[in-house]
Structure 1
Amino acid sequence: MKDVAFVVPVYNEAQVIGTVIKAIQAVTPHVVCVNDGSTDASAAEILKAGAYLVDHPINMGQGAALQTGIEFARLLPGVERFVTFDADGQHVIDDAIRMLTTLEVGDLDIVLGSRFLGASVGAPRLRKALLRLAVRFSNVTSGIRLTDAHNGLRAFNRHVADTIEITAPDMTHASEIIELIARNGYRYREVPVTIHYTAYSVSKGQAGMNAVNIAVDTLLRKVGRS
């Protein structure tokens, strides 16, 4: 799949990023890792694994890292399809491949992964409860009905890559992307995926208070546009 680029935001993932990159390289040589101000050896591990390294000198947030990565990936020769993929090992490469197939045969602009249509292996109960609340909130505020509002696994075409502008630098970006799907009229579909929660990935997860912050930021953004 030489027409596919994976965009991977990275913040202090030296322990696992090499393994994640190698798994992606079985699908495509185009792995764009945005090192978002990491203070560990993430940059060295990215280079060691042979991925593209794009550096943020300071931590700007996952939303900013995704936008930077998408802009870089758009410049790669022959790339027409794009996947956003987490760096902590939670996502499954086979899911991404199926999503890319769905993108093409379904005549879609963007395909979104859903753990609630698929599976959450090892997910803490509180995390699942917060995610379900986030879905309800997103469905009300975005105008789009989804089953999973904060899944980082997405596949999309060149049109989306050329037109999407993620302005929320932090974790609020997931809600903003859904809003952009509605505002830009992207053709979309959700598909089942599996998320593997390990002790490592859970330790890297977002605190419950961040869910409140995301909700407040989303409401402020909505008010600002009205």
Structure 2
Amino acid sequence: MNETFDNVALIIPAYNEGAAIAGTIDGIPAEFRNIIIIDDGSRDDTRERVAATRAKLVKHPINLGQGAALQTGIDFALLDPRIEYFVTYDADGQHRIEDVRSMLTHIKQTGVDIVLGSRFLGEAINMPTMKRVILKAAVWFSNITSGVKLTDTHNGLRVFSRATAQALKLELPDFSHASEIIERIGEKGMRYAEVPVTIIYTDYSRSKGQSMINAVNIGFDALLRKVIK
């Protein structure tokens, strides 16, 4: 008999993901019943594709950014008192549900507040060399500025408890939310762990990811926030 995950919500932000979103949802086994897609003002057929699946659809009328979409999804999931574990999951097919299972097992067994996926402890299939270099530099920078020691700082695959979901309160609307989450971990003294995961880079996912220049800008933004606090 398959294990059920009625107390788990998968939160998936989506912006112009019509080409991939149905396949991503279909790849999630039926025992994960709480799939929340946040359509972040898409201009393609993302909404129509999601509407034809079993996932719940929450819509932003305009594009607000991935951080804002994640916070909307977290707020929506918090409305259901049965949800104890929150999973952030990418829409473009890079993540594997097997890794979600292992991360859920880890958070339940250890009682940490948040589990972060690490492709550098696991595997990054077809990752471009320059992206690897930039991400490694981002890890070094984040570890110095945040005080939270990680091997992978911009991985969208995370699992956290209900209390953590209530405490995150993301304010940065764009990809900077990844750094903001790490800052929250440090500020609030959250217990955290990393688990090896596999990230699969396809031509499609590479075309949808943040640019290298944007990744550098996020680093500068994080440093600036530290300076002005």
TM-score bin (small chain): over 0.9
- Within 2, Cα distance between the matches of 1:142 and 1:21? 34
Q: Deviations over 1:79-127 (max 9, x none)?
A: 1111000000000000001100100001111100000000000111011
Whether 2:46 is the aligned partner of 1:42: answer: yes
Q: What RMSD in Å do the two structures reach over aligned CA positions? A: 0.9
Whether 2:107 is the aligned partner of 1:109: answer: no
Matches within 5 A, 1:1-226: 1-225=5-229
The 10-residue stretch of structure 1 (195-204 or 215-224) with the greater mean CA deviation from structure 2: 215-224
The aligned amino acid for 2:26 is K
- C-alpha contact 1:121 1:196 (8 A) present in aligned 2: yes
Deviation at 1:44, TM superposition (A): 0.8
Q: Any stretches of 5+ residues in structure 2 without a counterpart?
A: none
Give the secondary-structure state (helix, strand or coil) at the position aligned to 1:24: coil
Q: Percent identity?
A: 53
The aligned amino acid for 2:33 is P
TM-score scaled by length of structure 1: 0.97
Give the secondary-structure state (helix, strand or coil) at the position aligned to 2:103: helix
Q: Deviations over 1:7-33 (max 9, x none)?
A: 000011111111111222434110011
- Within 2, Cα distance between the matches of 1:14 and 1:192? 29
- Within 1, Cα distance between the matches of 2:81 and 2:188? 26
The aligned amino acid for 1:37 is G
- Within 2, Cα distance between the matches of 1:186 and 1:36? 29
The aligned amino acid for 2:191 is R
Q: Deviations over 1:37-59 (max 9, x none)?
A: 11000011111112111111111
Deviation at 1:176, TM superposition (A): 0.6
TM-score scaled by length of structure 2: 0.96
- Within 2, Cα distance between the matches of 1:147 and 1:212? 17
The aligned amino acid for 1:23 is G
- Within 2, Cα distance between the matches of 1:64 and 1:221? 18
The 10-residue stretch of structure 1 (71-80 or 99-108) with the greater mean CA deviation from structure 2: 71-80
The aligned amino acid for 1:145 is K
- C-alpha contact 1:25 1:31 (8 A) present in aligned 2: no
The alignment of Structure 1 onto Structure 2 pairs a total of residues equal to 225
The aligned amino acid for 2:104 is L
Deviation at 1:77, TM superposition (A): 4.1
